Amino acid sequence: MSKEEVVLLDFWASPFCGRVKIALAEKGVEYEHREEDVLGSKSELLLNSNPIHKKVPVLLHNGKPVCESTVIVNYIDEAWPSPPLLPTCPYERARARFWGDFIDKKIFEGGAKIWGSKGEALEVGKKDFIEILKQLEGTLGEKDFFCGDNFGFVDILLIPLTTWFYAYEKFGGFKVEDECPKFSVWVKRCMQRESVAKALPEPEKVYEAVVMLRKMNGIE
């Protein structure tokens, strides 16, 4: 029996699961990966481990479940302290947590207003989404990563969400690269990291899944 048992309940298209996979890879933590059929039938283990939300990702560490992707990423950082995902100085840590919270509140929901609507509502959604990306672009500034020279917490929370951007671009008729070029450079920089490239799905595959979601929600 290995001394640390780490299991991840996962769904391939979920950007929230992507965050956890990247964090574990950055820390060099070995884990067992279990794919959940989230649109079909969820496993007993998932329903028992996350009875409140019944969602992925769930990280099980020696049998104890941790739920909610941002809580999980913080947990991974604290349970395996090296290399650190957050800066050392309290103010910079607060800045990182603030932008992590901003990303949690704005990006996925903002994107849903594009793929989940049409006509005027879609146009408004697109405009708002681009505004949000511009705010993030502003906070990134001239830095390589959101907290400076090192890939870390904020990058980990955000980069998986960008795998859904291709779908938003197709439905919204825009390109992130044209609207926010510096943001696109950051995306490419992150995608060069092995931990990121291995964890994330192809945006084209995500697009196919979103097309299906759109039909299921009766939007066409």
Partner 1 sequence: MAEEVKLFRTWSSPFSLRIVWALKIKGVEYETIFEDLYDKSPSLLQYNPAHKKIPILVHSGKPIAESYVILEYIDETWKETPLLPEDPYERAMARFWAKFGDDKVLTSIVWGVFIKEGKEQEEAMVEAMKNLWLLEEELRGKKFFGGERIGFLDLALGWLANFISILEDVAGLKIVDEDKFPLLSAWMKDFADSPIIKDNWPPRDKMIAKFQALRDEKLAAAAAASK
Restricted to residues 58-77, the positions that interact with partner 1 (CB under 8 A) are: 61, 64, 66-68, 71-72, 74-75
Longest dimension (CA), the chain: 58
Binding-site size, partner 1 (CB under 8 A): 22
Between 60 and 176, CB nearer to partner 1: 60
Tokens 């933590």 identify what position? 29
Residue 90 found at the interface with partner 1 (CB under 8 A): yes
- Rounded least distance, CB 78 to partner 1, Å: 4
Q: Which two tokens stand for residue 128?
A: 């708002």
Neighbour count for residue 116 (Cβ, 10 Å): 17
Q: Which of 34, 102, 134, 214 binds partner 1 (CB under 8 A)?
A: 102
Residue 214 found at the interface with partner 1 (CB under 8 A): no
Q: Which of 34, 42, 93, 170 binds partner 1 (CB under 8 A)?
A: 93
Q: Which residues pair with 35 in a beta bridge?
A: 10
129 neighbors 109 (Cβ within 8 angstroms): no
The alpha carbon torsion through 217, 51, 35, 68 (nearest 10 deg) reads 80
- Rounded least distance, CB 51 to partner 1, Å: 9
Question: What CA–CA distances, in Å, run from 21 to 16, 33, 130, 162?
Answer: 9, 9, 27, 15
Chain residues that interact with partner 1, rule: CB under 8 A: 52, 61, 64, 66-68, 71-72, 74-75, 78-79, 90-91, 93-95, 97-98, 101-102, 135
